[in-house]
Structure 1
């Protein structure tokens, strides 16, 4: 039987309800460990529902621990700034008909009500509430209705348990007790069966994961394998069902159209690289740190720092020493990563980074002349490069006001890579998925440290393909065919 955990921002948020030893704050939940392989259900009632807020992190890190959380990170990402507006177009006409039938005698032009785990006090709206909960699975969903010619759903908002009235608290507690006994369900995937692949690109992107030449080489390899390729953009989301696969060759992010397109493509039954789970898991350094910790992947020592925690400085310096590295969770291309040498610098940088995220990762600083980049596809290493640090800098990329400089590179055969580097890279990918990844590894003698796993690694002509040449593109095409056939 699964153990139920309820996570809140403040313990007083749970004060109106029955005493339960499974209620804890987010920092306490992250410090809490399970000694056996018991299944864990997490009801996330944290107040901050916005991207990189405490609620978002609760579900993100619950997933990293292998726990089932509601809301899921995917559910959070359906909302923008706590609410979704004008959703009636996405709701089936049959549900809207039920809504209008239930409110046929309602005289007002606006109406608001809460849904608690799919339950509502309005019996006539039970089917509507059930549908909205399945589509937007959050513990408390506030629905605003508006009547013009007919009733429509105006906005959906994530409700907060600490704002409930006494009568609402009673309904919430009853619904929670009922829901906690239900079986967790997985959304079905509709499968489509066409045999061509869309490649998502942004021709204006400053640091794309593929050069134009490498895109051409991929198209050439695909044609040899009887695969049609079409380049698409962000505005082509509605066309995804036309394809059998989606290859994302644009820099991904969670709160971004690349993630939404990956989600939609997966729902449509496409073979997807990068799949949405990989984008979620690789797109946040705090998540990766927790995941690596759970799976004993070698990595630099690290400490999570929480906004408004007065002990941040002492904990980080005591554990890691100085200098150390501070990382914003969703930075890319060395952005949002800073090295601090002294306490003054630490405080200044931490204040700036906390303006962007409620949790910051601090890691032990280890200098190496280069980082290994190991390309991994379906659990197998397919290319290997050494990326050298930018001149007179401690990172591969050095961003200036007018231009960005980067260090050199060396491409080599996978067989030439030290075995413990390869093993660390493959081990890091295993809990993330079987997609295409670029694993950054620091090698310090016999010690190796996985820095991060990138879900859409660069594949540039004359760099990553320098050793294998066209064969590298053949390998990717062959794996896409494998994935497509598995879908069939």
Structure 2
């Protein structure tokens, strides 16, 4: 059973709203006995302020001690106490603000808005408002902006109900109703499942890491092990702490919501695949290149070129030989990668890619009919595929094809049939990254095998990567979740 509790500091704070059985005073909440073990309780703390060791602070503190899901959490309360604490988290938000509010977009040099559960009446700031709420989940926030050369966030402060005027009270009531209905949707029972795992997916993604049939197989594999695997989306951020684990099946990036989900799940002491460290290490090719080089692992001959030092392009062809492959650091699925045949094409392609990144990778071109993909989970190989180049193209994915991007064929085979040098290299490549789920791409020529990249969110599609193992592939991944969850329950932590 799920219970919703709305806590106000004084009963009179609720006088302008309809009476509700969900509303209790802070004193009554602090005095009440802890609910039963099976009762899920969501607490919305609407105290007048959250001053350290004040009434509002203790409501959130005791809610967490009782196992209740509370907004704002003590961490959020502490983060919002001083700008010196939360200022570290608003750098990315200021970049988003620059897109929403051009430098000359307003006559004033400062202004503020109210956020009601992450919603605002300012249409141009709605995306930013949701991101602020994701970073600082609090029922009522006042966000203040100032402009020097560009707009930036100058302060984020929690508010109490007593600070609202009539129109703001109406807006707050609307968003409270909407938010509380989210808390009631799809109640999940633990009677048949030992653990609950949230599987982050994007139904609208053009090239997701798992197709719909594979996602269904993950859910089915979880059921066989007593694990409830529930697909969630980017707007379910506030529900994340309800789960025991997070499985990301959406293309990851360090600058989007997938990283925020992973980071928060790790803070909540959940089992996470992909963990935030793996996302950071794998999604930037320049970092990976340095990491592999420092371990003396074989790579294509590679150079880093800089937007502010174009002279490096002059004799790049002599050093690497044409053709040369140029890559932006955070491209995925063969995007942001260009092959150039001569100095003129090199200069033109570099100018285009430098619009997206200050640094680029330049690599020697190694032609092979296919790339190896070795799936690694917790330092053990679990599947192996050959991905063949798209017909008439030099990459696996041809994004220049008419209509949707085309890919080449594939061959899935037992891990035991993989050449020993390829398998050994794949395992060495993931060793310095972590113990998560990875896909290692390797090119094997007549003379050598080299690492192309390590993917933190490898493709697992029904009919492709599972072509040899079938349902056992999904069971192996869910069993690893189960193993980690059991160890966490016993207080043993992760195996290194």
Q: What TM-score do you get using the length of structure 2 for normalisation?
A: 0.62
**1:367 counterpart SS class:** coil
Structure-2 residue corresponding to 1:403: 404
Cα–Cα, structure 1 residues 155 and 280, in superposed 2: closer, same or farther, change >3 Å?
farther
Report SS of the residue matched to 2:458.
coil
1:293 aligned partner:
293
Structure 2: 5+ residue stretches without partners: 1-45, 55-80, 93-108, 115-139, 150-192, 490-496
Match of 2:252 in 1: 252
Please say if residues 371 and 442 of structure 1, whose CA atoms lie closer than 8 Å, have aligned partners that are also in contact: yes
Residue 345 of structure 1, CA deviation: 0.2
Which residue number corresponds to residue 243 of structure 1? 243
CA 1:308–1:462: 2 relative to 1, 3 Å: same
Deviations 1:118-160 (A, max 9, x none): xxxxxxxxx835534676799xxxxx99899999662599x9x
Residue 434 of structure 1 is matched in structure 2 by: 435
- Do structure 1's residue 93 and structure 2's residue 83 form an aligned pair? no
Aligned twin of 1:284: 284
The 5 A counterparts of 1:159-238 are: 195-238=195-238
1:194 Cα deviation from its structure 2 partner: 7.8
Question: Structure 2 vs 1, CA of residues 148 and 247 (structure 1 numbering), >3 Å: closer, same or farther?
Answer: closer
| 2:51 match: secondary structure | helix
The CA distance in 1 between the partners of 2:144 and 2:444, in whole Å, is: 54
Q: Deviations over 1:433-485 (max 9, x none)?
A: 11101110000124111100111111111111111111111110110012212
Task: Give 1:279 shift.
Answer: 1.1
2:370–2:443: 8 Å Cα contact kept in structure 1? Answer: yes
| Structure 2 match to 1:386 | 386
Once residues 248 and 313 of structure 1 are traced to their aligned partners in structure 2, the CA distance between those partners, rounded to angstroms, is 38
Unaligned runs of 5+ in 1: 1-88, 98-126, 139-143, 160-192
**Structure 2 Cα separation of the partners of residues 286 and 137 of structure 1:** 22
Cα deviation for residue 310 of structure 1 reads: 2.9
Q: Which residue among 140, 144, 149 is the counterpart of 1:154?
A: 144
CA distance in 2, matches of 1:222, 1:414: 24
- TM-score of the aligned structures, taking structure 1 as reference length: 0.63
Distance 1:238 1:151, change over 3 A: closer
CA contact (8 A) 1:326 1:338 kept: yes
- Alpha-carbon contact 2:430-2:438 (below 8 Å) kept: yes
- Partner of 2:345: helix, strand, or coil? helix
Match runs of 1:140-151 below 5 Å: none
Q: Residues 156, 236 of structure 1: CA spacing in aligned structure 2 closer, same or farther, 3 A cutoff?
A: farther
Change (3 A) 1:135 1:253: closer
Q: Which residue of 2 aligns with 1:177?
A: none
**Measured at CA, do residues 447 and 219 of structure 1 come closer, stay the same or move farther in structure 2, by a change above 3 Å?**
same
Cα-to-partner distance string for 1:27-50 (whole Å, 9 max, x where unaligned): xxxxxxxxxxxxxxxxxxxxxxxx
Of 411-420 and 273-282, more deviation after overlay is shown by 273-282
Q: Residues 196 and 244 of structure 2 are in contact (CA less than 8 Å); yes or no, is this contact kept in structure 1? A: yes
* Count of equivalent residues: 333
1:436-451 map, 5 Å: 436-451=437-452
Q: 1:200-242, CA deviations, whole angstroms, 9 ceiling, x for partnerless residues?
A: 1111111111111111111111111110111100100000000
The residue number in structure 2 matching 1:459 is: 460
Q: Please identify the structure whose Cα radius of gyration is greater.
A: 2
Which residue of structure 1 lines up, in the alignment, with residue 479 of structure 2?
478
CA RMSD after TM alignment: 3.1
1:57-88 CA-partner distances (Å, limit 9, x unpaired): xxxxxxxxxxxxxxxxxxxxxxxxxxxxxxxx
With over 3 angstroms needed to count, the CA separation of the structure-2 counterparts of 1:134 and 1:207, relative to structure 1, is closer
Superposition deviation, residue 392 in structure 1:
0.8
Residues 1:129 and 1:340: Cα distance change in structure 2 (over 3 Å): same
Residues 300 and 363 in structure 1, CA contact (< 8 A), matched pair in contact too: yes
- Using CA pairs under 8 Å that are at least 6 residues apart, name the structure with larger relative contact order, 1 or 2: 1
